[in-house]
Amino acid sequence: MARLIVAAGGGGDTVAAAMLHAALYGDEEQAVILTYAWDRLLIDPLPGPRRPADFSGLKRITPAVWFVPPQARPIAPAGSTLPRLAAELPATFALLDPYQGAIGLTRQLNSLVDYVEPKSIDLLDVGGDILAQGDEPTLKSPLADALTLAACSQLNEPVRLLVAGPGLDGELPPQAMTGALGPVVHTLTAEDTAAISTILEWHPSEATGLLAATARGVRGTCEIRDAGLPVLLTDESPAVHDVDLDDALSRNRLARAIMSTADLDEAEAYSREVCGYSEIDYERNKALRLNEQQPTKLDPSTILPQLDQFESEARVRGATHATFRRITEALSLSGAQREELRQLLLTSRPQQYETPLWRFADEA
């Protein structure tokens, strides 16, 4: 019998779902992971999430739900990591389509549950921004999580909400959610990360990358995103907490506001009203800037001195690590150059690679 895990925010939550399934349920249980195709601009040049029509090769299993087999492909110019995840992980991936709002997501959930008849249903969020009230100054991407929370709260089956790595997404500090976090159901270990070890080598997720790194014992302060947000990597970081679903809904004003939304535009409008912005608006504006940005040639004789300067300034800020997304953007490179940059750094300075993070060299 299958275990169903809903990846609250898509992207890295999808990878974390595979790791958590292996840690909690082992190889004896089949994993079905329901997730958005929402990889942000590092992978997908189009703002917002992808819908079934953005793919070829999907498998329709109910009128409302599509599976993503390994042979599926995003239709250019769209991008998605889901087909590659389907090829490399022993899980079945189903696509969450938010374009019909929370009502549509609830319909998809009920349809998938009827089809799979899962032994359990977990809603997983890495970082804990699903517990945001909506007005927190560090909150950047509340909409995806609010939609899945609104839908799961209307499901006709019990759902367990799990928050892994409180604070690792840089959206809410751990102390802001302390009162909402329930008991620790599992603390991830280096052995648990084996399930996604090959994925960490190429997948751009920062929060799940930090989760895996802390499970492997990495400690310090890591800069993430284009803004260089500092995230503390502590002994509490690899913990997975049980959270009361109703309590999360009572905290999350955006999730309550969008319960009856019938399309994504309507949900976005509520996000602007409750939170003051929409994360898809941010992606739209950033995509326009990136389209106007002149490509930078990745020349080692230029990049490595720039990296030295970046590391020196980051150490002054108290950082010990950075994600490759952070370095890519700090060096004014495009998301498409992230992997080329990573290969250059691994070749030139392999001793600084703590999978999947970059550790700053000690000052001479």
What would the two tokens of residue 237 be? 């970081």
| pTM for the whole structure | 0.96
Query: Is residue 363 pLDDT above 90, yes or no?
Result: no
Q: State residue 227's pLDDT score.
A: 86
Query: Is residue 8 pLDDT above 80, yes or no?
Result: yes
Q: State residue 127's pLDDT score.
A: 97
- The rounded distance, in Å, linking the Cα atoms of 171 and 125 is 12
pLDDT digits (tens, 9 = 90+) for 174-205: 888 988 999 999 999 999 999 999 999 999 99
Q: State residue 348's pLDDT score.
A: 94
- The rounded distance, in Å, linking the Cα atoms of 6 and 147 is 12
Q: How confident is the model at residue 332 (pLDDT cuts 50, 70, 90)?
A: confident
For the chain, helix (H) and strand (E) counts, in that order, are 14, 16
- The rounded distance, in Å, linking the Cα atoms of 137 and 139 is 6
Q: State residue 67's pLDDT score.
A: 98
Q: How confident is the model at residue 1 (pLDDT cuts 50, 70, 90)?
A: confident
Q: State residue 333's pLDDT score.
A: 87
Query: Is residue 291 pLDDT above 80, yes or no?
Result: no
Q: State residue 164's pLDDT score.
A: 98
How many other CB atoms are found less than 10 A from the CB of residue 60? 10
pLDDT digits (tens, 9 = 90+) for 92-121: 999 999 999 999 999 999 999 999 999 999
Query: Is residue 293 pLDDT above 80, yes or no?
Result: no
The least confident of 69-83, 262-276, 284-298, 323-337 is 284-298
Residues forming beta bridges with residue 224, ordered by sequence position: 229
Q: State residue 364's pLDDT score.
A: 54
| Backbone angles phi and psi of 361, in degrees to 5 | -70, 145
Query: Is residue 226 pLDDT above 90, yes or no?
Result: no
Mean pLDDT of 200-225: 96
In whole angstroms, how far apart are CA 175 and each of 44, 126, 139, 178, 319? 33, 15, 14, 5, 20
Q: State residue 72's pLDDT score.
A: 98
Mean pLDDT of 290-308: 85
Mean pLDDT of 227-245: 96
Q: State residue 77's pLDDT score.
A: 95
C-beta pairs of 244-251 under 8 Å, 24+ apart in sequence: 244/161, 244/180, 244/182, 245/123, 245/149, 245/152, 245/153, 245/159, 245/160, 245/161, 246/153, 247/180, 248/130, 248/131, 248/149, 248/161, 248/180, 249/149, 249/150, 249/153, 251/131, 251/132, 251/133, 251/180
In whole angstroms, how far apart are CA 170 and each of 101, 207, 223, 228? 26, 8, 9, 10
Q: State residue 84's pLDDT score.
A: 97
Query: Is residue 7 pLDDT above 80, yes or no?
Result: yes
Query: Is residue 322 pLDDT above 60, yes or no?
Result: yes
State percent of the chain over pLDDT 70.
Answer: 99
Q: State residue 178's pLDDT score.
A: 85
